[in-house]
């Protein structure tokens, strides 16, 4: 009897532990329909709900996440036109964040807009997806970006830690090479889903992925302990990006990283010592020239605030 009671308690504890475990993603999905009819908008509201369930209720890794560990992300789909009985064309904006250790702050990790989003959807039809098999452009694009989010997130916690998930995204690209929809092939654009994965595995850009780890784990996660040392590590990470920029100016992956980080870096170094701030300005204006005016304004802080 004692043994049986012990077994029951063990099973109850195991089930409780399993019930407390969560999937990896906590993703908010929104669909904007500025040019569609009310009927189509209702269909897109159903799709919005379906996609939230597809992303957030699926296991994308072999890990079980606790609720507080789930990756915060958002997907905004803007449907610009209906081009057939069940075909739509628009854009998809994907963002993700990760918490900074011992703070309430979340650091933006990935922020990218994909302008080649063409998909089919019939209301209430199940969203089918199987790894390594192209079943529909809708689920392929969504799964691709989930794996990209996972890869970027894991890279911030361990050097090159996101490789298994970038490999899954690469498998989706490979399986989509015969798809009629745009965004998957090398010759269609220099800045599409194909080239993002290519850059992530290209040894030339390895420093970008290594910098993501230093930036977050050695930099932001150590700020509570020592702000000055943490900023120094972030400058080290920026210098790694600078080396990539000098070897391959304007690379797609580097632009994707800087799109997510430019505002955060302005906020961080606006309050830094003059030496660190000037060093950051010098690097950032070289690495991210499209935002050079924003970075240079950091150097005007002392005069503008009377400090």
* pTM of the predicted structure, to 2 decimals: 0.91
* pLDDT value for 21: 53
Q: Could you list the pLDDT tens digit for every one of the 307 residues in the chain?
A: 444 444 334 333 333 333 345 789 999 999 999 989 999 999 999 999 999 999 999 999 998 888 888 999 999 999 999 998 999 999 999 999 999 999 999 999 999 999 999 999 999 999 999 999 999 999 999 999 999 999 999 999 999 999 999 999 999 999 999 999 999 999 999 999 999 999 999 999 999 999 999 999 999 999 999 999 999 999 999 999 999 999 999 999 999 999 999 999 999 999 999 999 999 999 999 999 999 999 999 987 554 444 4
The pLDDT assigned to 167 comes to 98
Q: List the domain boundaries for the chain.
A: 22-201, 212-307
> How far is the C-alpha of 181 from the C-alpha of 83, rounded, in Å?
13
């Amino acid at each position: 009897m004692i043994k049986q009671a012990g077994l029951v308690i063990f099973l109850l504890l195991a089930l409780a532990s399993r019930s407390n475990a969560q999937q990896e993603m906590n993703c908010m999905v929104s669909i904007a329909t500025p040019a569609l009819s009310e009927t189509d908008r209702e269909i897109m509201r159903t799709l919005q709900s379906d996609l939230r369930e597809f992303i957030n209720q699926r296991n994308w890794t072999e890990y079980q996440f606790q609720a507080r560990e789930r990756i915060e992300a958002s997907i905004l789909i803007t449907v610009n036109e209906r081009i057939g009985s069940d075909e739509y064309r628009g854009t998809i904006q994907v963002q993700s964040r990760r918490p900074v250790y011992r703070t309430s702050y979340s650091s933006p990790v990935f922020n990218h807009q994909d302008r080649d989003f063409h998909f089919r959807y019939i209301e209430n039809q199940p969203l089918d997806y199987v790894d390594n098999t192209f079943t529909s452009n809708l689920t392929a694009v969504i799964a691709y970006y989930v794996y990209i989010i996972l890869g970027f997130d894991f890279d911030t916690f361990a050097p090159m830690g996101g490789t298994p998930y970038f490999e899954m995204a690469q498998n989706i690209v490979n399986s989509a090479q015969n798809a009629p929809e745009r965004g998957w092939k090398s010759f269609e654009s220099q800045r599409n889903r194909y080239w993002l994965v290519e850059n992530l595995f290209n040894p030339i850009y390895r420093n970008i992925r290594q910098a993501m780890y230093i930036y977050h784990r050695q930099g932001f996660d150590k700020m509570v302990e020592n702000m000055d040392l943490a900023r120094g590590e972030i400058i080290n990470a920026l210098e790694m990006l600078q080396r990539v920029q000098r070897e391959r100016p304007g690379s797609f992956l580097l632009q994707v990283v800087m799109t997510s980080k430019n505002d955060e870096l302005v906020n961080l170094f606006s309050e830094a010592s003059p030496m660190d701030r000037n060093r950051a300005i010098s690097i950032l204006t070289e690495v991210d020239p499209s935002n050079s005016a924003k970075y240079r304004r950091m150097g005007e802080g002392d005069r503008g605030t009377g400090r």
